[in-house]
Chains A and B, each alone.
Chain A
Amino acid sequence: MGSSRSSLRGVPDGQQLLQETGCEPERSGRLGWFCLGLRSEDLEAELSENPIGDRIVGAFFQPGQETVDFPSFVRVLAHFRPTEKNWTRDGVQPEPANSRNRKLKFAFQLYDQDRDGKISRTELLQVLREMLGLQVTEEQLQSIAERAIQEADLDRDDAICFDEFRKSLEKVDIDHKMSVRFLE
């Protein structure tokens, strides 16, 4: 990735994007050139090593789309900006992309691939299989999924909805773990 600068002029709806995501134009411009035309098959080297690399790339694409354009790319990346400490929920401004809630929602959607608002047992088994590969047996996988659902599922519907997901992670320091810091 070279570091050629591009100005806001080159980005369609640049001002609106800036307001929505909070990403500064110079920094996001540096990323812009390589993601134009990013296809779902283009996995880079380090990303191929990541067990859920496919899912992460899939999160950039809207369902049914084969390409991602720059605004969508920035909108997804905006989830990973470090949280601002002084933002308060006042109901007037739209929630920024990098709030704790939105970060959790992003993680939730990585599990919930069919976007029905719940993580079913099948979906959990799928993601566990991806992360653990062939290193565990089918029984071990089932028992891990069973325990995870029992712990988190409060209304006993055999699936984890977003509220249950959020509750089970309320003690985790999301900001630090789900943030990427840009250098000057």
Chain B
Amino acid sequence: MENFWVGVLWATEIWLYLIVCLIMIPAMFGFSLGISETYMNILVKTLEWATLNIQKANAEEESAKASASNGLIQREHGSMEKELEELRRSRPKPPVGGDFTLSDCFYFTRRGIESIVDDEVTQRFTSEELVSWNLLTRTHNDFQYISLKLTLVYGLGIFVRYCILAPLRITLACIGLTWLVIGTSAVGLLPNCRVKFWLSEWVHVMCYRICARGLSATIRYHNKENRPKKGGICVANHTSPIDIVILCNDGCYAMVGQVHGGLMGIVQRAMVRSCPHVWFERSEMKDRHLVTKRLTDHVNDKTKLPILIFPEGTCVNNTSVMMFKKGSFEIGATIYPVAIKYDPKFGDAFWNSSKYSMVSYLLRMMTSWALVCNVWYLPAMHQQEGEDAVHFANRVKSAIAHQGGLLDLQWDGGLKRAKVKDTFKEQQQKKYSSMVVGDDSSSNSD
């Protein structure tokens, strides 16, 4: 019996030494031993093999019109003008009394029914469906039995993911977080000097690197010369809380957010000891002037790190970019846009906060194959003369969407929970009225 426990202890020691040598030390000093690369290569080959198998099996049946979107219906994308013209084709335009027909309502009715069945916005809050399967049932909604070989590989995959990879990753994540708290508190004890500054950066980056290894994250950074500099605001599209880990692997940022209790609170308080972040109390968040003032003060101090902000305000499923809130664009600082795109082949990074809590989301992440993403740094943007904040925000959003290959939507991410403003309805009414009465309608000025 004793021998058994001695054996277990010995195994755990070896395990920890291996982790420290093979993963932590390279993470601390920023070089790589090539283990992850080998793992990724094997993984890619396995997934390609699995995909080929599925395609061979499906070749006998009719090939599915596999649309990579989550759509249920075929949507007509004709403009209002075109469709109403077609409806009125049979009638001559009357000289007086406006160009209205009883059939005009057909267009709106059909659009309405299409919206009820399937709309653009709600689609963005469910996970992307993959065209080919990546051996994770969670991404494939129509799982069927294909062949014994495939099922065996899938079973092996489950074993590898849950029994080997997951404990490893959880250990790493715990080590990373603990080290973050201890390290930043220790650095915080030093007096303000350049060494402190350099040490705090080093501690931050090191801990985030360990966390990234904890998720088997492979990150590719593009255009590093456009990296955010001090005194600016870094703006990115939001898919999950892991975005922070991804971005902070390659530079130090000041975070903005609410003060939480519990574990998050401990981490926040420790981080703020070594370098200034902007944490708000819950009551302060409501006061927009206070928020703007604190951000402006931080930005104007050129020794402080660039602020990291996610203007969408909520997590979106990485196929599109939702409306940016204008608050951070009103400050007048230099904006450094960053586009983040996850590769869905290896694991779905989207956090559906209404479906999964934070803990179950992190566990899902740790039992995925890996996390592969691309980060593009875009050139800095400034607010131009006479440009208002909303227009500027849209400009930045288009640049990010264009670089990351995402759809640029006008909708507000807050629609996950709230209702729509009336201005959109007014726009539709305006368009329609210009068709009925022509442009001499007595409309209120815009």
Contacts and interface: CB of A to CB of B under 8 A. Distances in A.
Contacts of B112: 47, 50, 52-53, 56-57
Interface in B137-174: 141-142
A110 interface: yes
Interface residues of B, number: 64
Nearest to B98: A144
Contacts of B96: 143, 147
Interface string B44-83: 0000000000000000000011010011111000000001
A80 B90 contact: no
Given A45-B121, A182-B73, A183-B74, A51 B432 contact: yes
B441 interface: yes
Contacts of A27: 72
Interface in B90-126: 90, 94, 96-98, 100-123, 126
A81 B102 CA distance: 21
B436 A144 contact: yes
Contacts of A169: 102-103
A1 B123 contact: yes
Nearest to B69: A183
B424 A148 contact: no
Interface string A153-184: 00000001000010011011110011111111
A133 interface: yes
A183 B443 contact: no
Contacts of B429: 51, 131-135
B113 A137 contact: no
A131 B108 contact: yes
B218 interface: no
B72 A3 contact: yes
B432 A168 contact: no
Interface residues of A, number: 60
Interface string A30-57: 1100000000000111111111110011
Given A50-B428, A52-B108, A144-B98, A180 B114 contact: yes
B415 A45 contact: yes
Interface in B371-417: 411, 415
A148 B434 CA distance: 17
B123 A47 contact: no
B1 interface: no
A88 interface: no
Contacts of A178: 106, 109-110
A114 interface: no
Given A3-B72, A48-B420, A172-B87, A111 B102 contact: yes
B437 interface: yes
B84 to A, nearest CB: 10
A8 interface: no
Contact of B119 (A45, A77, A133, A135): A45
A140 interface: yes
A165 B120 CA distance: 33
B129 interface: yes
Contacts of B105: 52, 107, 110-111, 127, 131
Contacts of B220: none
A97 interface: no
A31 B122 CA distance: 13
Interface in B219-257: none
B442 interface: yes
A77 B109 CA distance: 12
Interface of B: 64-65, 67, 70-74, 83, 86-87, 90, 94, 96-98, 100-123, 126, 129, 141-142, 411, 415, 419-420, 424-430, 432-434, 436-437, 441-444
Given A45-B415, A132-B433, A140-B442, 11 more contacts: A2-B126, A31-B117, A43-B419, A46-B120, A48-B425, A51-B429, A131-B105, A132-B436, A136-B436, A177-B106, A178-B110
